[in-house]
Amino acid sequence: MSDLSAPITALKGVGEALALKLGRLGIERVSDLLFHLPLRYQDRTRLTPIGLLRAGQEAVIEGEVTACDVVKGRRRSLLVRLRDASGILSLRFFHFSPAQQQQMRPGATVRAFGEARAGATGLEIYHPEYRLSGSETPVDEYFTPIYPTTEGLNQPRLRALAQQALGLLDDAPEALPDVIPDTLLQRFQLPGLHASLHLLHQPPPDVNIEQLTFGQHPATRRLALEELLAHQLSLREVRLRIQADGAPTLPSGRSLQARFLAQLPFALTGAQRRVLEEIGHDLSRPAPMLRLIQGDVGSGKTVVAAMAALSALAGNCQAAIMAPTEILAEQHFRSFKAWFEPLGIEVAWLAGKLKGKARLDAKAAIADGRARMVVGTHALFQDDVHFQCLGLAIIDEQHRFGVHQRLALREKGEAGGLTPHQLIMTATPIPRTLAMSAYADLDVSVIDELPPGRTPVKTVVVPDERRPEVVERIRLACSEGRQAYWVCTLIDESEVLQCQAAEVTRDELTVALPELAVGLVHGRMKSSEKAEVMTAFKEGELDLLVATTVIEVGVDVPNASLMIIENPERLGLSQLHQLRGRVGRGSTESFCVLLYHPPLSKSSRQRLAVMRETTDGFRIAEKDLEIRGPGEVLGTRQTGLAQMKIADLERDADLLERVTAMAQTLQGNPDITSVLVRRWLGEAAGRYGQV
């Protein structure tokens, strides 16, 4: 016998070899078997008359053997004819033994389970599960579970192990405490933990099988609620740990901010001012700010980040902004340099490409505090980078970094005994359901207003046979003094092939449009070459820029009013929306042409229709979640968040508000919190707080 927290090898029949296979499924302790839920179920609880069977139907049938023959066709097989009062059916075995042939002698009664198919003799079941039976043989009491499995591990073995685990749960129910308050279970009309687990592993014949299959059954929802709660509590633990450290209390820096605003050619929007008030309140407190700013493409997040940085600088601290790509980091560097150097603030730049003396000089300026504003890529949190006094860490395009990477930057400020404030920005609008779950450790601010003068981008969807018309459209736009992008996408993940495709497209467009200056930018170019091309495009020396998706974030050319995206069906909605945001940054009417290759799949048609219908980033994000699911939308780097075992952030969205309220109530209760986090996240639980 074993308890539920024991290693899986404590179960009968589980040796090292089987434990390795179970480990591949994430089953390491006995209790893990209870939460390894079936993918679907088979109905073996009733006998189906042979005459009522239809092709494609799985069923249990029983009949008398009328004939058993080895037949020769393209493949030798054993053909067994079965008859009951309603009809005749064949069982066909391509792999069989003399003993099987002997069992199936005429007159024997056989009970079989499998899928009926149309075959050479009428309805046939290939390689059924079967047994010889008598009139008293009972049918199964429960629906038969089909579990996720791995090579070398069959369904009967998994079922037997799950039954062992359920037996142990019955023997010692206190080993798996049910910690969800009864009031909450009553509100959602959900069953208790033990009843839910029993039902999901052994559904009775009267259960609603459709509800079970689609995750809508109260037993599934009960477990989903607990899993969502565990994830929220783990992230809140991270927040509590960080906020237990002291942070510098930063002044508003109003005079420095006023000088900065005076040099801008525009006024802040109401949404920017509101978010700045929220940030100012956080920075004035002695606990680290943990705030996510969501703002659609072009809503002015970078200016808000600059204003927050000036508060840190006014408090004699340094500020750092980290971007996921060198092209975006370089753009930030140019912006901050142009904004801050007139105010007498030195701006340093640090990225992987910076080598030799330039790198040493940048590191020295960061370490001794001469560089008050620091811009870079993930190179900023490498071990050899030291800050004199980091007061504010700004992370751009949060979805490109994992939880652990952004936590790593906080260490850089801890040398002085204080944790830096964190400001996280994303131009990828996150549906509210995802934000409530994936960013439970962060306060969320939304810049929901575009600067005045911006015109919405009109989007058209065109098949690639109309490519010559699209080329003429570019000629017309550029002849009127505008600029255009042509974005190449490839289904192949190889960066080499993507870049080759972009080069071929550039050559074709140069021939087709000889009067235009055509540039090229792709991921395999040196950063200095990319920067040179981007600068030439920004300054109007190039009419048309052919690019891979490296321009998805951070490129700001107000004169560009036309974008062609080739093969848009290969991209997710959020990425398409990001790309489209590179045009429409001035006051001229702008267009985005989605040049697709037919035929389109259903989901591709849905995505392109959404792009045509709306420019609202949040609506697009909701549709993206609906079409692609949370793992894809968040990105695989969101360790632990996309890999929920049971909960589905879209399906179970209605549980999230209650889960959020519960997490607030329970986070001060370490007994409940530790039980839930360990149960659902296991070893991953500790990783949220590690760096």
| DSSP state letters, 149-209 | --TT--HHHHHHHHHHHHHHHHH-GGGS---S-HHHHHHTT---HHHHHHHHHS--TTS-H
Integer CA distances (angstroms), 118 to 29, 42, 76, 82, 620, in order: 44, 20, 18, 15, 45
514-541 pLDDT per residue, tens: 999 999 988 778 877 887 888 899 889 9
Q: CA-to-CA distance for 608 and 613, rounded, in angstroms? A: 9
Mean pLDDT of the region 233-242: 82
pLDDT of 303: 94
Q: CA-to-CA distance for 573 and 532, rounded, in angstroms? A: 30
Percent of the chain topping pLDDT 70? 90
Topology (CATH level 3) of domain 254-447: Rossmann fold (3.40.50)
pLDDT of 691: 30
Count the Cβ atoms, other than its own, within 10 Å of residue 335: 19
Looking at per-residue confidence, does 551 or 149 come out higher?
Answer: 149
Pick from 312, 299, 247: which is nearest to 273 by CA? 299
pLDDT of 9: 93
14-35 pLDDT per residue, tens: 999 999 999 999 899 999 999 9
344-387 pLDDT per residue, tens: 999 999 987 788 899 999 999 999 999 999 999 888 878 888 89
Q: CA-to-CA distance for 563 and 577, rounded, in angstroms? A: 12
CATH superfamily of the 52-139 domain: Nucleic acid-binding proteins (2.40.50.140)
Mean pLDDT of the region 312-321: 94
Percent of the chain topping pLDDT 90? 49
Q: CA-to-CA distance for 443 and 482, rounded, in angstroms? A: 41
Helix intervals (H) in 315-429: 326-340, 356-367, 403-408
Q: Contact at 8 Å (CB) between 458 and 592?
A: yes
Q: Contact at 8 Å (CB) between 253 and 314?
A: yes
Q: CA-to-CA distance for 644 and 37, rounded, in angstroms? A: 12
Q: How confident is the model at residue 342 (pLDDT cuts 50, 70, 90)?
A: very high
* Stated length of the chain: 691
Whether the pLDDT of residue 162 is over 90: the answer is yes
Whether the pLDDT of residue 203 is over 90: the answer is yes
At residue 484, the 3 state secondary structure works out as: strand
pLDDT of 210: 87
Looking at per-residue confidence, does 513 or 326 come out higher?
Answer: 513
Whether the pLDDT of residue 499 is over 70: the answer is no
Q: Contact at 8 Å (CB) between 565 and 579?
A: yes
Same fold, 52-139 and 458-614: no
Q: How confident is the model at residue 490 (pLDDT cuts 50, 70, 90)?
A: low
Whether the pLDDT of residue 637 is over 60: the answer is no
Q: How confident is the model at residue 57 (pLDDT cuts 50, 70, 90)?
A: very high
Q: CA-to-CA distance for 305 and 427, rounded, in angstroms? A: 13
Average pLDDT, the chain: 86
Residues 6 or more apart in contact with residue 228 via CB below 8 angstroms:
437, 644, 647, 652, 655, 656, 659
Q: Contact at 8 Å (CB) between 543 and 478?
A: yes
pLDDT of 639: 39
Whether the pLDDT of residue 688 is over 50: the answer is no
Q: CA-to-CA distance for 362 and 351, rounded, in angstroms? A: 10
pLDDT of 461: 95
Count the Cβ atoms, other than its own, within 10 Å of residue 21: 17
pLDDT of 244: 79
Class of domain 458-614: alpha beta
Place of tokens 């550039």: 506
Q: Contact at 8 Å (CB) between 236 and 685?
A: no
pLDDT of 497: 65
384-400 pLDDT per residue, tens: 888 999 999 999 875 55
Q: CA-to-CA distance for 201 and 178, rounded, in angstroms? A: 18
pLDDT of 374: 96
DSSP state string for 226-283:
HHHHHHHHHHHHHHHHHHTS--PPPP--HHHHHHHHHTSSSPPPHHHHHHHHHHHHHH
Q: Which helix (H) or strand (E) holds 68?
A: strand 58-71
Mean pLDDT of the region 50-72: 94
On the question of a cis peptide bond just before residue 599, with omega within 30 degrees of 0, the verdict is: yes
Mean pLDDT of the region 586-612: 89
Count the Cβ atoms, other than its own, within 10 Å of residue 338: 11
Burial 135-172 (b: 16+ CB within 10 A, else e): eeeeeeebbbbebebeeebeeebbbebbebbbebbeee
Tokens of 169: 């749960």
Whether the pLDDT of residue 71 is over 50: the answer is yes
Q: CA-to-CA distance for 590 and 575, rounded, in angstroms? A: 18
Tell me which of 67-76, 218-227, 518-527, 605-614 is least confident: 518-527
- Select, from the ranges 181-185, 402-406, 477-481, 526-530, the one with the highest average predicted confidence (pLDDT): 477-481
Mean pLDDT of the region 596-623: 87
DSSP state string for 292-304:
EEEE-TTS-HHHH
Domain boundaries, the chain: 1-45+146-176, 52-139, 178-192+202-244+649-679, 254-447, 458-614
pLDDT of 400: 53
Mean pLDDT of the region 548-552: 71
Q: Contact at 8 Å (CB) between 534 and 515?
A: no
Whether the pLDDT of residue 430 is over 90: the answer is no
pLDDT of 398: 56
Q: How confident is the model at residue 1 (pLDDT cuts 50, 70, 90)?
A: very low
pLDDT of 555: 63
